[in-house]
Homo-oligomer: A and B are copies of this chain.
Amino acid sequence: MPLSYEEIISHESQGNPAEGLRRLVLRGSVAATARPGQFLHVRVSDRLEPLLRRPLSIASIDRTRGEVTLLYRVRGRGTETLARKRSGERLDVLGPLGNGFSIPEKGELWLVAGGIGIFPLYALARAGLAAGLKVHLFWGGESRNFLQSAGLAEWQDLGIPLHLSTMDGSLGDKGTVMLPLGKAEDPRSAANRLSGQPLPALSVAVCGPRGMMQAVAELGSARGWRVEVSLEERMACGVGACLGCSVTVRDERGRLTNRKVCQDGPVFPGKEVVWNGAR
């Protein structure tokens, strides 16, 4: 998609202000072609500092209104500067960029999120539901407060099974998302062991901290799930031209080779990623 100057429809802090989360709704040409898991490369300022664009996932897509929503956490100078943009202003974005998640033809779609890794999964949940899939969400965060700030209510509105965990135990299991995930897959595998019947195909989409994505990918490959992970890497160009966002993968023939997170990703089959490739 060509460069687009999207109109900012709304731009607000979301949830507890201490979490620093913002919701940005854009109207323009992006919505027409955006797919879940793709991202926009956003120019946060027309001054020269901060200089580079910042990649932000497309959190939800409303084709009828021509709108996409981005959800982000204010971290450093880039997102701080972006946070000052007001509705009515235009935002210079490249995108939609990247490949996005695949939406399976049938079977179950499990979404596994750590922290703000939840953001790109919402659009996928809706697409999955629209495709008639059975969708589950597994989501771990710091606290109830965080989950609520990061959009729990909207997930509840989807009416899908939510399997939650928090580090402080204030909601769901106490610990990482691997706990509820384990609980759900255990009976499933057990049933499978008992019956010997092949289970309905399970597709798992993961977004969160690297270690957590690795754990899910490894579990998934043991269980024969079709796992896709959404990787993050620092980006300059966003279109495959600078080789700044390389990730090492094992290709079909088992050889190590490089892919670009921006162009070949950000979504990769979990089994391809060489997890110790990065520090």
Contacts and interface: CB of A to CB of B under 8 A. Distances in A.
A48 interface: yes
Nearest to A50: B47
Contacts of A77: 47
A49 B46 CA distance: 10
A50 B46 CA distance: 11
Nearest to A51: B49
A4 interface: no
8 contacts: A45-B47, A47-B47, A47-B49, A47-B50, A47-B77, A47-B81, A48-B49, A49-B49
A47 B81 CA distance: 9
Interface of A: 45, 47-50, 77, 81
A51 to B, nearest CB: 8
A54 to B, nearest CB: 14
Contacts of A81: 47
Nearest to A48: B49
Contacts of A48: 49
A204 to B, nearest CB: 41
A223 B81 CA distance: 57
The 8 closest A-B pairs by CB, nearest first: A48-B49, A49-B49, A47-B49, A47-B47, A47-B81, A45-B47, A47-B50, A47-B77
Nearest to A81: B47
A77 B45 CA distance: 13
Contacts of A50: 47
Q: Which residue of A45, A47, A48, A49 has the most chain B CB atoms within 10 A of its CB atom? A: A47
A45 B47 CA distance: 10
Contacts of A47: 45, 47, 49-50, 77, 81
Nearest to A86: B86
A49 B77 CA distance: 13
A85 to B, nearest CB: 11
A47 B50 CA distance: 8
